[in-house]
Structure 1
């Protein structure tokens, strides 16, 4: 059984990649970008492990156009993430996009075999750490140093699309929990919205990492 430490999932996100996507946010990141808006997803926490085969069944059974992996740091669990993608594609040939705080050049030159397998399974990659002083309203990215790589021809038609923010997806659950997904177009968004809604930092307000 292959296990993946998972912080959160969402079956129908429209702001983290093309179309409506199933998003998996992994738990654990050793990069530590200043200004990260999901610090609760930085520590390694094996109590949040999920069976890859069961997760793949759930992903493939949804109506999503693709799969996006964020976090946390997906390449810290590259073997398990690559196994998840392979298991999903045995069921459905979905588009796959991932985020990483590493650069593509670093992963290609210094990555582990598992990281190379993960790279080879991706259609789209957003690379580089989030830099708060370079905050920008870019498509699916949080700062101007980050790049969107088209690793296959699957989404080639998007290469010349306008490079502007995809916005945020905001939801209110039945228990009145507020949740947002996406990449904020302004720095300090987490603190701003918590101050205005009178929230305290906790897992009752789910946050996507600012990438």
Structure 2
């Protein structure tokens, strides 16, 4: 999510994170509840495309988002074609794609800090029943920031193996990657403990 944010001046970028998340959630739910027909799938595709264009992100960003989830769509479509008619399979896959792309609008147009602040504010009313809003926001922040770190660690392991001339296999990659990942987790845990987080 850290690498997805794209600075911009469109109305989606200017919208407050909390209300924007709520509206996009409603849109995602509405798209998923559409019937499994090609007409409904066309409506979902139209709403998604309009959201990207009106939101100021444009065709290029929309295209990149579609390409980034291509394997999800291929697997979803392939699995459904085994059990359902082609029309229903295509309609369902289009609805799934639309839901993913609409959800992606949130991270494309919202800074992580703003999103975390909105989560913390949204959870404050639940503190009466024992929910620690700050801790949930902290866990979410750590999770979000860890994803790009793990991607970078994986790339580092691959580069080190190539530099040594090691044939990269699954087992040969997984063990060094787990070692560096666990080392990172230990360092992160020590840093949080040093700051009084338990």
TM-score (norm 1): 0.23
Larger Rg: 2
Hey, which of these two has a bigger chunk of helix by percent? 2
TM-score (norm 2): 0.24
Hey, which of these two has a bigger chunk of strand by percent? 1
